[in-house]
Amino acid sequence: MRLSRHFLPVLKESPSDAQIVSHKLMLRAGLVRQTAAGIYAWLPLGQRVLQKIAQIVREEQDRAGAIELLMPTLQSADLWRESGRYDAYGPEMLRITDRHDREMLYGPTNEEMITAIFRDSARSYRDLPRTLYHIQWKFRDEVRPRFGVMRGREFLMKDAYSFDIDEAGARHSYNRMFVAYLNTFARMGLRAIPMQADTGPIGGDLSHEFIVLAPTGESEVFYHSNWEKPAELSSVDFDDVAGLQSIVSTYTADYAATDEKRDEAAEAAAGDALRQSRGVEVGHIFYFGEKYSKPMNLRVQGPDGAEVIPHMGSYGIGVSRLMGAIIEASHDDNGIIWPDAVAPYKVGIINMRVDDEACTAAADDLYAKLQAAGVETLYDDRDERGGAKFATMDLIGIPWQIVIGPKGLAKGVVELKRRATGEKEELSIEDALAKVSA
């Protein structure tokens, strides 16, 4: 994409109302604009990153055997009366009345709807196990929205729901999501630590939060220093019950807890290895058995012909919130440092002198070659000073930057810069092309 034709409104100054670094940088880099309290429009750069985050989430859900569908944003109040949550849910639920005076709501979560959908068609144990998920906008009417997309009101969430014949099956479905989550966050360059958690309004007896360490996080967290090793992808057969349990056991062996769940004995055992920080919740998984299936009358025929009430779990990832969490975890004074996997563009080309024929010809040619190679490229072809172009590329965090100027071209070289390390090298255009296309 040529920047001269793009819509990328960056800000020179930090907006005064933004308190945390991710919120400041998302506004400055032109990722989002607030359109109402806690409601954001995703500008083109933000939209690209959001889609990349969602796509990684989707691929790891699919790999774990979950099936994608898409439920609507608005739900009928009657559905929530079946579970008893319509009256129980507080003022965070946005209640709506339509033109026929029917009571509706903007879904904050979908346990009731997915249970009703599954109930419509599941007949026997052969229809189990299933895990269904969707990636859809949710609304929670926060009393005080803040921190940008980290605590917004309209937000994009991946929520999955599992249906199993019994508790053992449900535990395996839970483990599938546990491992899928570790892989999802690792692919985004994040070390997310699973911590035992309270179940809150979802209910149930087994629950983990996945928390990314960040000094500005909303929760205080305590963990063993073993968690400081970088995240790794688990290559696993998701149908292997014992193998999956063993990964989960390994990952829950090292102490990690939020403030509400601290364990004095475990902390004493950790000794000098105990660490304290703040963190941002990016995922939350729950096993809650028959909490929704029972009152909503979801039943299937078991192998022996008797009726069985399926056991359920639910599994959320804050897709839009993740963008904030990634920025909190990966930035410097100059701006965002996108991990390659979620960067809006992999390569940025800076043409230092658009009025210089040789520079522009070389930059146009490189841009065409990168396009042809399928490398996502942002080409700064604007008539601006070099300094402003450097600042923009760093602010918006493009991982590889290729600078084309008249002095270098005279020597037959361009400058290739790696945003994450600041490392620069001079090399021929062909070598730069080969390096960033790899």
Q: d(Cα 428, Cα 1) in Å, to the nearest integer?
A: 23
Tell the smallest beta-carbon distance from residue 55 to a copy of itself (Å). 11
Other CB atoms within 10 Å distance of the CB of residue 325: 28
**Considering only CA atoms, which of 114, 143, 147, 261 is closest in space to residue 198?**
261
Closest to a copy of itself by CB, 98 vs 259, is 98
Would you call 292 helix, strand, or coil by DSSP?
Answer: coil
Tell the smallest beta-carbon distance from residue 258 to a copy of itself (Å). 27
Tell the smallest beta-carbon distance from residue 304 to a copy of itself (Å). 18
* Sign of the four-CA dihedral 42, 401, 341, 275: negative
- Sorted by sequence, the CB contacts under 8 Å of residue 428 that are 6+ apart come out as 412, 413, 414
**Cβ-contact 158, 134 below 8 angstroms:** yes
Q: Which residues sit at the interface with a copy of itself, rule CB under 8 A?
A: 4-7, 9, 30, 33, 35-37, 39-44, 46-48, 50, 65, 67-76, 79, 91-92, 94, 96, 98-100, 102, 104, 106, 113, 116-117, 120-121, 126, 130, 132, 134, 137, 139, 141, 143, 153-154
Tell the smallest beta-carbon distance from residue 423 to a copy of itself (Å). 32
Closest to a copy of itself by CB, 40 vs 222, is 40
Closest to a copy of itself by CB, 8 vs 231, is 8
E strands present in 87-205 = 94-97, 103-106, 130-139, 154-164, 192-196
**Cβ-contact 299, 308 below 8 angstroms:** yes
Closest to a copy of itself by CB, 68 vs 232, is 68
Closest to a copy of itself by CB, 358 vs 388, is 388
Would you call 301 helix, strand, or coil by DSSP?
Answer: strand
Here the tokens at position 335 are 């701006």
Residue with tokens 């709506």: 96
Tell the smallest beta-carbon distance from residue 102 to a copy of itself (Å). 7
Tell the smallest beta-carbon distance from residue 358 to a copy of itself (Å). 24
Closest to a copy of itself by CB, 32 vs 432, is 32
